[in-house]
Amino acid sequence: MDSNSQPGGPGQLGDEALWCHDLVAVVTQEMRTPLTVLKGYTQRLLMSWETLDDRGKQAILGRINTSVSRLQRLVDDIMLISGGQTADLVMMARPYLLEQVVQHAILEVGARRGDRATMIMPTGHNVSMYGDQYRTEQIVITLLELAVVRSPHEAVIAVTYGDRDGIAHLSVTDRGPALTPSGWDALLGRRGAPDRDRAGSPAALSLDLLIADRLVTLMGGALRATSDDEASHVLLELPISPS
């Protein structure tokens, strides 16, 4: 047997080192934005304290607080994918509508991806949910962005949603390369995924996908993928309300 294919061999160590390198690079990039905003507004506040009125100071402090909240969310998410404690993860449970989540997610992807979002076609019946709407939107945004990245430019991305037996179902269908079960596990960096599927798959290092997978698990749901001759389907299942 080739030593590169043995557990703990050079090939496996190379894959793990690459995974860690890319993860650190993505985390660093994600942290840079809120830190830059924090630094900019803090410097402005320090330099202009004597000339700013109370309203101006409150506005700057509000922006600083928003950046701190974003940074806290990022730290929580990094804890999710690093295997750290999740008991302290704050879930803001409240009633919301699944259709509203889908609409907000499409708008967010549109802001990030421009005209590609016009090819996202939602359909389904509304579902009244109880849980963390922000986290659910975070998951759906990630799945839509994955579909946009995978699909040819002119291809339609179908989003269908509904419920059955107390479970909300959402499916995102794209025209990208086939997603096998093992390939999907590798994409999410799940343990036990074959090395041949894990290696050479840049998307396997996506911070957002890793976070989404952990969030779905914590919310008592499931995330999987299937493919047929014409399309790939990413399927999300979430309890309508916590058990």
Q: Which of the pair, 1 or 138, is modelled with greater confidence?
A: 138
Q: Give the per-residue pLDDT at 241.
A: 86
Query: Length of the chain, please?
Result: 243
CB 161, CB 99: distance < 8 Å = yes
Is the pTM of the predicted complex or chain greater than 0.85?
no
pLDDT at 95: 94
Q: In whole numbers, what is the pLDDT of the chain averaged over residues?
A: 78
Tell me: do 38 and 134 sit in the same domain: no
Q: How confident is the model at residue 193 (pLDDT cuts 50, 70, 90)?
A: very low
What pLDDT was estimated at residue 130? 93
Q: Is the pLDDT of residue 189 over 80?
A: no
Instruction: Average the pLDDT over 129-144 and give the result.
Output: 91
On whether residue 88 sits in a domain, the answer given is no
CA dist 52 and 43 (Å) reads: 13
**Contact (Cβ atoms closer than 8 angstroms) between residue 148 and residue 116:** yes
In tens, the pLDDT along 226-241 reads: 998 889 999 999 999 8
Task: List, for residues 146-178, the tens digit of each pLDDT value.
Answer: 888 888 888 889 999 999 999 999 999 998 888
> Strand ranges (DSSP E) for the chain?
93-97, 120-124, 128-132, 157-164, 167-174, 222-227, 232-239
Q: What CATH number corresponds to the domain at position 187?
A: 3.30.565.10
Tell me, yes or no, whether 119 lies in a domain.
yes
Separation between Cα atoms, residue 10 and residue 7, nearest integer Å: 9
DSSP 3-state of 30? helix
The total of structural domains in the chain comes to: 2
Asked whether residue 54 falls in the same domain as residue 109, the answer is: no
Q: Are residues 103 and 55 in the same domain?
A: no
Instruction: Tell which of 82, 102, 120 closes a domain.
Output: 82
Which residue range forms the structural domain that includes residue 155?
Answer: 93-239
Say if 87 falls within a structural domain. Answer: no
Same domain, 46 and 98: no
